[in-house]
Amino acid sequence: MKLTPAVELLNYYDFMKYTRLLNDDELSLYSLEHFYPLCSAYLAQGMENVVGTYDLLVRDAPPHRNFLLAGGLEAIVQYIENWRYSEDQIKYLLDSKLINLQFAEYLRNFKFTGDIEAIPEGSIYFPGETLVRITAPVIQANLMTDAMIALATIDTLALSKIARVSLAAPGKKISLGFVRAPGVDAGWRYSRAAFFFHGSGTSNAAVTKRLGIVEITGSTLNANHAFIKSFPTELEAMRAATKDSEKVTVMVDTYDFEQGMRNAIVVADELKAQGKKLGGVTVDSGDLLENCKLARAMLDEAGHSDVQIAAGGNLDEYKLSKLVAGGITADVFLIVTEIVTSADAPKLETVFKMAEIQDGKGGVRQTAKFAPGKLSLPGKKQVFRNLKDGIISEDVIGLEEENLGTPLLVPIYRQGKLVYNLPLLEQNREYTTKQLATLPATHKEIFKEYPAPLSVSPKLQELLEQVRQRHIH
């Protein structure tokens, strides 16, 4: 895979104009209606300079996940870089009586001025840990809440799901298709995430074009069922599909699997006689283990041991893991629906919580939420990681000034200025590969669940108790 140099800064959601959904400019009004009058109230009460520290995090571990991979940072940076309010938007908020004139003026001059720390994308992340920490005027932090949650959620979901697929099928090629995602946007996020893992990706031309990938691997250049059906016979279709490209794989189960294999071998023989070769065959129905075994045997017997086999059909990490354990003779796996919907765990309880407030006059107060099952931790926190022989032994959530391991949160913004170099795709892939290698063997398991090796420092627990006593009498 070759990558072209970085492309220019993009307006994140421009495409949404096309689909009549949300584009970049419109996203600044993505916040829930409550936030505008609440922020208007802050301003009216002279709280413009009151600064809060907030945590964006995943609160609960989703089912079937022993770890998550941190996601969303790149998208969050894009969002912040493009964050402003147009006159039309301000007029809408005024007409809706959500804001007053004073706040309208504030929005006209809006600029993000806060500090942000975040866990880099592709890092092993355990729910409960601060994923992104924002220290900013309370008005700004409130206005960004909903967008931050949306951005972190989808990328974290996508990376975490595909990580499991890559663990389930080590050494195999993975090709992702996004047709059945709940939207083009979601599909796109999964496609991007696929490139974080060695041997995995998508051949979707829109994605590879944007990512700057100019060598599309042949594995998913399928002559699909529609193509096969468009010719009077399967054999004619296979001949036409493979005439000019050694990258094309042919689907062999449009009509009858064994007959399809025999036809593919006829074509492979013909190509061989011309000094060319068949790109591969694709099996996407029936018993994959048996069908791939038969396909391999038939190909080998006919002297085509160099012809690859791709397998697809409602594959997820569970099925893949069993197929790999069963010694499946496929080289490439096609993953679609189950992956791009995170079907086994579609919910991520991403939250954005206040942890500390500075009144602008030197006073600092830590905050927490005590609603049942929805506890949040107070104070300016850091996540510390400890490794033993290169494997994660323990993560500790502590206070910033503590020294309990390697800090995972790194500076992204200082006073509204971006101070972080977003990694290139290939850097993300290298980093993610190294991160996955730090997982304990237990946590790599697909079928069993293990608790996260995570604790809260005594100092932080003490602070939580102090805050509890202040609010609950």
In the list 69, 93, 131, 136, the residue contacting other proteins (rule: CB under 8 A) is 93
When binding is defined by CB under 8 A, the residue of 56, 61, 181, 278 that contacts other proteins is: 181
In this chain, which of 46, 97, 389, 448 binds other proteins, going by CB under 8 A? 97
Binding segment for other proteins among 38-46, 110-118, 433-441, 455-463 (CB under 8 A)? 38-46
Count of residues of this chain found to bind other proteins when the rule CB under 8 A is applied = 151
| Binder of other proteins out of 417, 441, 448, 469 (CB under 8 A) | 417
Q: Which is nearer to other proteins, 188 or 197 (CB)?
A: 188
Give the residue, chosen from 61, 68, 69, 77, that forms a contact with other proteins under the rule CB under 8 A.
77
- Rounded CA-CA distance 408/132 in Å is 10
Among 297, 365, 406, 434, binds other proteins (CB under 8 A): 365
Applying the rule CB under 8 A, the residues between 259 and 278 that interact with other proteins are 259
Query: Least distance from C-beta 127 to other proteins, angstroms?
Result: 14
Q: How far is the CB of 382 from other proteins (least distance, A)?
A: 20
* Residue 386 vs residues 247, 403, 407: alpha-carbon distances, Å: 45, 11, 9
Look up residue 323 and give its two tokens.
Answer: 């197929």
Q: How far is the CB of 12 from other proteins (least distance, A)?
A: 5
CB atoms within 10 A of CB 260: 23
Residue 241 sits in the site that holds other proteins (CB under 8 A): yes
Distance between CA atoms of residues 32 and 146, nearest Å: 7
Stretch that binds other proteins, among 111-119, 162-170, 180-188, 270-278 (CB under 8 A): 180-188
Nearest of 150, 162, 151, 147 to residue 69 by alpha carbon: 162
Instruction: Give the span between the Cα atoms of 469 and 462, in whole angstroms.
Output: 11
The contact pattern for other proteins, residues 431-470, with x = CB under 8 A and - = no contact, is ----------------------------------------
Nearest to 83 by CA among 34, 24, 141, 126: 24
Q: How far apart are CA 70 and CA 67, in angstroms?
A: 10
Q: Which of 48, 64, 81, 454 binds other proteins (CB under 8 A)?
A: 81
Decide whether 184 or 446 has the Cβ nearer to other proteins: 184
Buried b / exposed e along 34-57 (16+ C-beta atoms within 10 A): ebbbbbbebbeeebeebbbbbbbb
Radius of gyration for the chain, computed over Cα atoms and rounded to the nearest angstrom: 26
Q: CB under 8 A: which stretch of 111-119, 208-216, 266-274, 317-325 binds other proteins?
A: 208-216
- Residue from 55, 117, 234, 395 binding other proteins (CB under 8 A): 234
Nearer to other proteins by Cβ, of 288 and 404: the residue is 288
**Cβ 23 to other proteins shortest distance, Å:** 8
Q: Is 45 left (phi over 0), alpha (psi -120 to 50) or beta?
A: alpha
Angstrom distances, CA of residue 97 to CA of 25, 33, 38, 426? 21, 11, 12, 48
H or E, element range at 466: helix 458-471
Pick the piece of the chain touching other proteins (CB under 8 A) from 108-116, 172-180, 317-325, 382-390: 172-180
Closest contact distance (angstroms) between CB of 321 and other proteins is 19
CB of 233 to other proteins, least distance (A): 8
Which tokens go with 163? 């990580």
Based on the shown chain and the rule CB under 8 A, indicate whether residue 180 belongs to the binding site for other proteins: yes
Extended beta strands in 184-322, E state? 200-201, 222-223, 249-251, 280-283, 308-311
- Residue from 46, 109, 171, 226 touching other proteins (CB under 8 A): that is 226
Q: What is the DSSP string of 208-219?
A: HHHHTB----GG
DSSP for 51-71 reads EEEEEEEE-SPPTT-S-EE--
| Among the listed residues 159, 174, 211, 299, the single contact to other proteins using CB under 8 A | 211
